[in-house]
Structure 1
Amino acid sequence: MRPASGPSRDHGKLMTLDSSGNMDVRSRKDVGLLFEPGDVVVANTAATLPASLQGLHVQSGQDIEIRLAGWVEAYDVTRFKAVAFGAGDYRVPTEHRLSPPTMRPGDRLRLGPLRATVQAVLDHSRLLELRFQGDRKEILAGLARHGRPIQYAYVPKPLELWDVWTHLAAEPIAFESPSAGFALSWDTLSRWQKRGIAFATLSHAAGISSTGDPDLDQRLPLDEPYEIPPRTAAAINKARLQGNRVIAIGTTVVRALEAATCSGCVVRSGLGVARNLIGASTNLCTVDAIVTGVHEHGESHYELLRAFADTSVLESMNQRAAAEDFQAHEFGDSMLIERQARAKRSQAV
């Protein structure tokens, strides 16, 4: 399936899969017409940080790229988890990138105006914990001046920061865009309001989606902090109590809501950290349907979708999507997948 080569929010296709397994293809604009009064739609308002930093590994004198990938402590900008790459940039596919120099605790990095120290090498030689010098204001200013959005080789033109912000972007806490939100427009939100469909938000620090290293990719997604406002939790719990559906806009929303669900399938408000890995064996408690991009087998996003539908069904959707010339990845077309009845699922790998 061909990847979308850049931002395009005016048009798009939508493939739908209902709870009985019926597929359809429509315009993405129709997402405003598909839900029922009393349903609640939940989206992620996280804005994306300029998390790609070119620089120098001082000890070896070699050029590197650092991609910030996670928070060590929620929203403490002095400390990040990061993935190291060798010299080069997004124009080279991640799986073909040069390896970075060997890094050890105490090594120093010069990243434009920013200075960082390797605090620890985590459970992979390219996965690091970094500490940045300076206060919050200085570090954020350095990121704004020197950082670029993380992007991949299938997008040929350099991205600007506004390219990876959805219409709902607020606090810059994500490392890649919660891109399912590109399916939403103000017209869609207005249609939902007129039809009695509730709309609620949360913030979730979406992490990186790929490193190019299969072993490191197996560790994704990393732990990701989130915050669920009281009114969002109340809207969800009310919908569940009344037998209405909860629809997540994107995998990050699914992960946050399921992490925040306690006994009795009640969603708790407040701050939390999503450490849960969702896949075929997961019994979803809160989310009934997901609006997502087009994902392929082997991606961490695809693994999460297996909690909604059997692998054979997802593969049938992708075959149909390819036949209908759907575009994949963050700027591509969309899918709406309703959770399939557990009794009908074979849990095929």
Structure 2
Amino acid sequence: MNVDLFDFELPKERIALRPVRPRDAAKMLVARGATSPFVDANVHDLPALLNPSDVLVFNDTRVIPAQLEGRRGDAKIGATLHKRIDLRRWQAFIRNAKRLHTGDAIDFGHGVAAVAEIRHSDGSWTLSFAGDEPVEVLLERAGTMPLPPYIAGKRVTDDADREDYQTYFAREDGAVAAPTAALHFTPGLVAALDEAGIGRETLTLHVGAGTFLPVKADDTDDHVMHSEWGRIDSGVADRLNAVRLNGGRVIAVGTTSLRLLESAASEDGTIQPFAGDTDIFITPGYRFRAIDGLMTNFHLPRSTLFMLVSALMGRERMQEVYAHAIEHEYRFYSYGDSSLLLP
């Protein structure tokens, strides 16, 4: 499909640079089916919008401070780690990469240094970190939170982002971008969901910086999707399958949860245990097998994520959803408002 079909005009003032407080006070646009009227709600209304037989599926990945600033001699080098290779090596996107060559050492300060080992076809590099400490420990000393470019380009990352850009469910280190749909959840909202009898399950997908890469191809068939590592435990898969067998709905919280669930589903919709990489790219025409709904933030024009929600609800329907959101001053992107999409 032509990528231009997924374009829309977004006023710059609709881009959220900070989250609302409390987090579950964010607005939530509810869209059901192809023709039902939209409902303007808030995230804290979620327990009343779901059924006791439903289950929400969260991504429990934890964002690591994967943004590094260093030097190779006199040259400034920026690195955003996006995929762990092993204990000492990570794949990273590099700023000022023209000043970097194989074998160069980069000093990131705070006793953190790495060698540029391999340059990949997408322009990223494999960095091998010096020392014996796990890289995650080194990042806690030298790294900053890797805010999306549409936020980081407008303001400085600060201490508040260490908490704001982490979900209530975060426990598995490895993401360099937050599963932002879950940023809206607070202890109070989780307690209200439990009281309403709505189920909760978690999986792990370590979101990579590739999620922010623009679609440069003119046709979706020519776009190469980034790969991310994920895991669904057998017990989680069994419980989710039982929910659907008993007439409940599986609602993915975020496109990361959705992508991993669909990657793990067999043709008949049965969710299988999963551990490995996925590069699933969902566009209109895709037949969803594992999920019955999606809670997600509002995404960029021409992005793979807007293509995904267009596959779920229909492209014309999603253009209507986004036009309504813009007109009614919903806030967009990672720190923005939410939508509940029920096809």
Give the TM-score band, short-chain normalised.
Answer: 0.7 to 0.9
**AA aligned opposite 1:140:** E
1:288 equivalent in structure 2? 292
Say which of 113, 116, 138 aligns to 1:142.
138
Q: Distance in 1 between matches of 2:241 and 2:233?
A: 13
How many equivalent pairs are there?
318
Q: Distance in 1 between matches of 2:171 and 2:95?
A: 29
Structure 1 contact 42–202 (Cα < 8 Å) conserved: yes
Relative to structure 1, the CA distance from residue 39 to residue 131 in structure 2 (aligned partners, 3 Å threshold; closer, same or farther) is same
Structure-to-structure mapping, 1:49-88, within 5 angstroms: 49-58=64-73, 61-72=74-85, 76-86=86-96
**What's the offset of the Cα at 1:45?**
1.0
Aligned structure 1 segments of 4 or more residues deviating by more than 6 angstroms? none
Relative to structure 1, the CA distance from residue 129 to residue 213 in structure 2 (aligned partners, 3 Å threshold; closer, same or farther) is farther
2:5 equivalent in structure 1? none
The reply to whether residue 204 of structure 1 matches residue 205 of structure 2 is yes
Q: Distance in 1 between matches of 2:75 and 2:328?
A: 45
Say which of 8, 15, 27 aligns to 1:3.
15
| Farther off after superposition, 187-196 or 252-261 | 187-196
**What's the offset of the Cα at 1:251?**
0.7
Q: Distance in 1 between matches of 2:233 and 2:261?
A: 11
Runs of 5+ unmatched residues, structure 2: 1-9
Structure 2 contact 215–223 (Cα < 8 Å) conserved: no
Structure 2 contact 114–127 (Cα < 8 Å) conserved: yes
Runs of 5+ unmatched residues, structure 1: 87-99, 340-349
- TM-score normalised by structure 1 residue count: 0.84
Q: Distance in 2 between matches of 1:303 and 1:122?
A: 27
2:27 equivalent in structure 1? 13
Q: Distance in 2 between matches of 1:285 and 1:20?
A: 19
Q: Distance in 2 between matches of 1:108 and 1:227?
A: 34
SS in 2 for 1:308: helix
Q: Distance in 1 between matches of 2:341 and 2:326?
A: 17
1:35 equivalent in structure 2? 50
**AA aligned opposite 1:156:** R
1:300 equivalent in structure 2? 304
Relative to structure 1, the CA distance from residue 273 to residue 212 in structure 2 (aligned partners, 3 Å threshold; closer, same or farther) is closer
| Farther off after superposition, 114-123 or 313-322 | 114-123
| Farther off after superposition, 203-212 or 243-252 | 203-212
Relative to structure 1, the CA distance from residue 203 to residue 281 in structure 2 (aligned partners, 3 Å threshold; closer, same or farther) is same
**What's the offset of the Cα at 1:207?**
1.4
Identity of aligned residues (%): 23
Q: Distance in 2 between matches of 1:307 and 1:62?
A: 44
**What's the offset of the Cα at 1:111?**
2.0
Q: Distance in 1 between matches of 2:35 and 2:187?
A: 30
Structure-to-structure mapping, 1:1-349, within 5 angstroms: 1=10, 2-10=14-22, 11-22=25-36, 23-58=38-73, 61-72=74-85, 76-86=86-96, 100-112=97-109, 113-124=111-122, 126-137=123-134, 139-151=135-147, 152-154=149-151, 156-160=155-159, 161-208=162-209, 209-211=211-213, 214=216, 221-339=225-343
Relative to structure 1, the CA distance from residue 214 to residue 237 in structure 2 (aligned partners, 3 Å threshold; closer, same or farther) is same
Q: Distance in 1 between matches of 2:215 and 2:264?
A: 30
**What's the offset of the Cα at 1:56?**
1.6
Q: Distance in 2 between matches of 1:101 and 1:165?
A: 33
Q: Distance in 1 between matches of 2:136 and 2:75?
A: 25
Relative to structure 1, the CA distance from residue 77 to residue 333 in structure 2 (aligned partners, 3 Å threshold; closer, same or farther) is farther
Relative to structure 1, the CA distance from residue 71 to residue 142 in structure 2 (aligned partners, 3 Å threshold; closer, same or farther) is closer
